[in-house]
Structure 1
Amino acid sequence: MTQSDLTASEDAAIWRDSEELECCAVVPEAPNVATFGFVSPSGAFFKYEPGQFLTLKLPVPGNVVWRTYTISSSPSRPLSISVTVKAQEGSIGTRWMLDHLKPGMRLRAKGPAGLFTLPTKERKKYLFISAGSGVTPMLSMTTYLFDRGIGLDVVIIHCAQRPVDIIGRQNLEQMASRVPSLKLHFIVEEDDPFQVWTGFRGRLNQIMIGLIAGDYLEREVYCCGPEPFMDAVREMLIGLGYDMECYHQESFSAPVKTESDLEEPGDLVPDESSLARIFFTNSNVSAECTQTDTVLAVAKASGLNIPSGCTFGVCGTCKVHKRSGQVHMVHNGGISQDDIEDGYILACCSKPIGDVEVEI
């Protein structure tokens, strides 16, 4: 039965948060991660949108806390509802769940709620990008699209520290093995000891996005993960010329319930109609350009030579020191954070915003 199968006569059997949830399953997923399944004691169905969240009332020792978790199950399977939780350092509520919540126990909950949702009737090409426990809404969305079975075209990119830390891997692989139009890609920073890893290594970058989803400009992007991760993804997409009107994100640490809670990311987007100026201090040359020109291109057009290689921000050959001003730089690993903090940039992928001084 899918969510659309619920008729008007069955609406009276929809679960409301005035009723408790009863834990029916606990499934370990990764270190300090588990999926908790719940059913309605009255047998009511669950109605929500893929990507929404629940807020659980947890009876931790000496207190009661409310904690919000994204729903990892799909509304296309309405007999139960699940959340997948990860205990971070210092976790109180999630730690209690992992240590004490067992099948048969009941909890109070609020919701479902949230705006980071997948339109349930649209048929689009999707690119899901996540990191860590940010994969949980993607599990719900992917399962929903898989169950719907019509027009499925999804590319999934999920990043984790190690292969053992990949949440929901078996479920995602099972669906991908049955639907050729569901493409699954994992990126890890480290290998597991004595285990073979044949996927991507390192951190997500623009080149990986292009290799994994060459048609990313045609896809609706949904992103979830730690704030620095989502900031980096937005920077990559902006640098690639992606239409950010088709980009959606939510931090798993701060989901929003209403549109008034939404905060617009303060992204810096180079404007091809806005003028900029670069002063090459060592050569005493000044050049006017636009915000979408790179420092490397402007230097070459001015007759100056900057050693360069890949032109994709990978090799680091074009590293130069920026004396002043602001640039929009999206690199692919060719410069360290220490160098950036010391004022260095990669000329091939740095675009001037206003007046900039560079030591060339």
Structure 2
Amino acid sequence: MSFIPAIDTTIGYTFGGKDPVARILPRRPVRLRTLDCFAGNVRSADDLPSRVCTMPYLNPVTGPLEVVGAQPGDTLAVHVMSLTPVGGVGFSSTFPHFGALTGTHTTAMLHPPLTERVWEYTIDHRRATVRYAARGSSYHVDLPLVPMLGTIGVAPAAGEVRASILPGTHGGNLDSPLIRAGTTVYLPVNVSGALLAVGDGHARQGDGELCGVAVEVPMDVVLIVDVVPGVPSALPRLETDVAVMSVGVARPLEDAYRMAHADLVHHVSALTGLDLLDAYQLISQAGRAHVGNVVDAEYTIVAAVDKRLVRGDPPYRGTHQRLRTIAAAGGNHSSLGAVV
């Protein structure tokens, strides 16, 4: 299994507009190192991002990776085999004009900006915990370590270049805690080779990423990809062993909710043969909604339904189960995942 480290030549801050750093083969695992959203510049609670980071260069992604055989009109399936935070600490922060509970330039308020502050979280890998410690008192509590990828996406269509901090139909900064080990992410292929990039590892994150910053960590990421030829996807979708999901990306939040659920209704209708209103009724009574982020330029909602209720054809021709089987067998590590 190849290892692609996150060094200056392999990270970027956009989807699109960058040449691939490596070529990867379908159904062959590849291991990546991603940086945290601060690009490693925040190293203590005294390192305020406004002082140590170069704005707007936040949220670096490793890649892009050219997927052999991927062509526009296909769907790229990205199965997350494992996520391992690098090191023993993670960092979060508040920003003066960023987050769900402060004024911004588009949500203008008269109150003073929030104070910029950094929290350091100790990660205990053996106990699989992340320690929250208050800055203003001795209060602390251990939270479960739940690694996730905040950002995963491909090059947008029509030559568009999108900042890595933004979500969209190409994926990007979706900030969904559901993108973790065992999840397959389906992304539309817009350009030859797809040009996949990932980053923004979180040791954990609450729904909505309320303050705008999760427990940010560099991450060792093991992925395995496949191409579903001739099957287009309008939006990112997710699949686990127990659920199928659609991701809506929009503002206001209710439009992201509508987008996700409309796509899921169509998806379930196609899989089961139900007419559209029957599928609508099923999702109305059995669907679930998960908030990804409510802080970025676009918000994200993930609409989900249990797979046991979706009796019919397997999504994307059984790609999730096929990649799960390869991953469980050890992923054929004797073969290189990247052709550099």
Higher percent of residues as helix:
1
TM more than 0.5: no
